[in-house]
Amino acid sequence: MTEKYDGGARGVLFDVDGTLVDTNYLHTLAWWQAFRRYGHDVPMASIHRTIGMGGSTLIEHLLGEDRDKDQDESLEDTHGALFSAQWPALRPFDGARDLLQHCADAGLAVVLATSASEEELAVLRKVIDADSAISGATNATDTGISKPAPDILEAALKAADLKAEDAVFVGDAVWDVVTANKLGIPTIAVTTGGTSEAELRDAGARYVFANVRELLDAVLAGEVKELAKGAR
């Protein structure tokens, strides 16, 4: 049962891709290959900067509103198929499981906030190997418009019966920070997804760490009060 502090449950929402599991560059490659198959030569650097958006938003951002929208579903399906070929190679970032377990042991509700498909989410959860610490998770069927719209985080809050003011978000992309800002949720960011500390801070991240292990070390040292038991 989630502990109660100051009249309300406290929880932490976690982005997964690029934050807990090392997938961002694999997603970039899969999108690049999908675009090429449908005649779109999109630079990998441009694709990487959109990772963190949901698929439909990413396509519109990169190809524009005047694109052939009839291709959108095929592009998403192709990306998904290409990315799934990499599933056996997926690895969690060092400290991911330990961080989730720490948060659960501190009485925080731990929610995975992702727009991954149900099948992909199952794979990611197996990679993270921390199901006993996870209170809930979102997948593509739980959300409407993808990041930077706040639907994903709203669904994650609902999954753990949390209010925005009682939560903190851990993510790796500018889009994660922008999304959380819309709900007034503070963001703790890591640079493991390939976004710089400066960009994450400029977007409004409260803390920025090089990786999950560094974040966990800071939490254990009492430097991140948001993830300490009963403190926020």
Q: Is the pLDDT of residue 216 over 90?
A: yes
Q: Is the pLDDT of residue 5 over 90?
A: no
Q: Is the pLDDT of residue 8 over 90?
A: no
**In the chain, where does the domain assigned CATH 1.10.150 lie?**
24-88
Residue 79's pLDDT band (cuts 50, 70, 90): very high
Average confidence score pLDDT of the chain: 91
**In the chain, where does the domain assigned CATH 3.40.50.1000 lie?**
4-22+91-227
Q: Is the pLDDT of residue 10 over 80?
A: yes
Report, as an integer, the average pLDDT of 37-57: 94
Interatomic CA distance for residues 228 and 187, integer angstroms? 15
So what's the pLDDT on residue 117?
Answer: 85
Class at the top of the CATH hierarchy for domain 4-22+91-227: alpha beta
CATH fold for domain 24-88: DNA polymerase; domain 1 (1.10.150)
**Residue 169 near residue 81, CB atoms below 8 Å:** no
So what's the pLDDT on residue 131?
Answer: 97
Interatomic CA distance for residues 148 and 61, integer angstroms? 11
Report, as an integer, the average pLDDT of 111-125: 92
**1 to each of 49, 80, 136, 180, how far by Cα in Å?**
38, 35, 12, 25
Report, as an integer, the average pLDDT of 117-125: 93
Q: Read off the pTM.
A: 0.91
**Residue 35 near residue 41, CB atoms below 8 Å:** yes
Residue 75's pLDDT band (cuts 50, 70, 90): very high
Cα-based torsion angle of the residue sequence 114, 120, 123, 128 in order, rounded to the nearest 10 degrees: -20
So what's the pLDDT on residue 115?
Answer: 81
